[in-house]
Amino acid sequence: MSIEIKVPAVGESITSGVLSTWHKKNGDFVQDGEPLYALETDKISTDVPAAGSGRLQIQVEAGQEVQIGQVIATLDESAGAKAEPSTAPQPATAAAQKVPAKDAETETGTALSPAVRRIVEEEKVPISKVTGTGKHGQLTKADVVQYLESRSTGAVPKKDLESAAPSAPPQFAPTAMTERRPPVSPEKPVTAERTTRRKMTPLRKKIAAQLVMAQQNAAMLTTFNECDMSAVMKLRAQYQDSFQKRHGVKLGFMSFFIKAAVDALKTVSQMNARIDGDDLVENHYYDIGVALGTERGLVVPVIRDADLKDFATLEKDVAAYATKARDGKLQLDDLMGGVFTITNGGIYGSLLSTPILNPPQSGILGMHKIQSRPVAVGDKIELRPMMYLAVSYDHRVVDGREAVTFLVRVKECIEDPTRLLLQG
C-alpha cells in the first residue's frame, strides 16, 4: 500500500508554494514524523514532516512550484522497516513515479524533469543529440546546459562526433538560465558565469509587493533623532551576568526598544492606529513586530502583548523567533497582526536609513549602529555612544508633531531607562 504525500494547506490565502528542498533522497526509507521536505510560500518557509513510514518515491523535483493538495511523492509501506538497512536507491520507473504520459516517452526514451523540459522547449534543443548522464540515461539539467554551451562556443557535442552525417555550422544560442562570457580562444573557452537568472521565490515576491504597496498606498514620511546609549549600556554591563544566570538569556538592546516603543505608543495613541477603507481603526493592544533578516528574506514575527511582558520574556521571545526564522520553522500565526514594527539595521552596520512601513501599520522604528561621537553635555564636549533613530509614519494617520513627539519619547526612555520601570 502506498501513502500519497500531498502539499498541506498552510493558510487561507495561500494556494501554492515552492518545494525548495527534499530532506530525503528518492528510494530512502522514511519514518513517520521525520522532516521530509521544505515548503516555501509567500509568507513562510517551513519543514513538512512525513505523514507515514515507507520507501520514498519522489514525483516532483526540488525547486518546482506546487499547488496546495498536489501529490508530490508516495511512501511505499510494503517496504517495511526491515528494508531500512539497505541504503541503495531502488530503480524508479516512469510508472512507479507516476510520470505523466507526455513526459514518459521522449526522443531518447527517458523522462524529462520539469526543469529540463522548460529549457528544452525554450531553447528548442534537439534532445536526440544530447547525451544523458543521469540514472538510466536520463537527461539532466547539466546535460542540456552543457550542450547549449558547446553550441555557443563552437565545440562539437559528443553525439555529433559519433554521427557521420554533416552538421550545419553551430550558432550562438544563450541559455535561459545563464549568460556566459565569450571564449578567449577555441582551445580554452571561458565558462565563468557573468550573470545568473533564476525565478524569484514566493517570499521575495511577497516582500517586493509589500514594499511597493507601502510606498504607493501610504503618505509615508520619516523623522529622525539621536539618542545617547550610555545609560542602557551601563545597565546591561552591570546586570548582564546575573540576568543571564537567572533567566538563561542575554539582556540585549531590543527589549529596551520594545518597552520604549510601547511607552511611546501609549503616549501618542495616533501612532497605534491604521486606516481600513474609509475607517480609522484605533488599537488598544500592543503587539510589536520585530524585523529579522534571514537567508530567504526579511520576516517580521510579532511579540504578542508586549506591554504585559518583562525584559526577560521579551528577550526569550525574540531569541525564539530568531531561531525559528533561521531554521525555517516560523508559522503563519507568528507573522499575523502587529500594530507597530521595529527594525535594527545597526546589526549590519547601517548608520542611518529610512525604514519602509509594514502595511497596514502606520509606524515603524528604525534602530542603527552605535557609534562614539563628540556631543555637548552641559558645558562640556564628551565622547558618547550615540545611535541615530528614525521613525517612518503614514501621514494620513499621524501628523508631524505627533511623530516627533513619539520619537522624542522613545529617546527619553532609552536615555533614562528607569522611566520604563517607573513609567514616569
Catalytic positions, written as ranges = 395, 399
Q: What angle do CA 236, 237, 241 make, to 5 degrees?
A: 90
Cβ-contact 186, 364 below 8 angstroms: no
Burial of 391 per CB tally in 10 Å (0-12, 13-18, 19+): buried
E-strand stretches of 178-327: 178-180, 193-196, 220-228, 273-276, 279-282, 288-290, 292-294, 297-299, 302-303
Is the dihedral angle over the CA atoms 418, 252, 326, 6 positive or is it negative? negative
Range 23-61 burial, b when 16+ CB lie within 10 A, else e: bbebbbbbeeeeebbbbbbbbbbbebebebbbbbbbbbe
From the list 418, 315, 394, 83, the residue with the least C-alpha distance to 406 is 394
Within 10 angstroms of residue 296's Cβ, the number of other Cβ atoms is 19
- SS3 (DSSP) at 413: helix
SS (H, E, C) 303-368: ECCHHHCCHHHHHHHHHHHHHHHHCCCCCHHHHCCCCEEEEEHHHHCCCCCCCCCCCCCCEEEEEC
For residue 55, report the phi and psi dihedrals to the nearest 5 degrees. -80, 130
Task: Output DSSP code: residue 11.
Answer: -
Instruction: State the Rg of the chain over Cα.
Output: 28
From residue 324, alpha-carbon distances to 45, 161, 167, 314 in Å are: 10, 53, 56, 15
From the list 46, 66, 54, the residue with the least C-alpha distance to 3 is 54
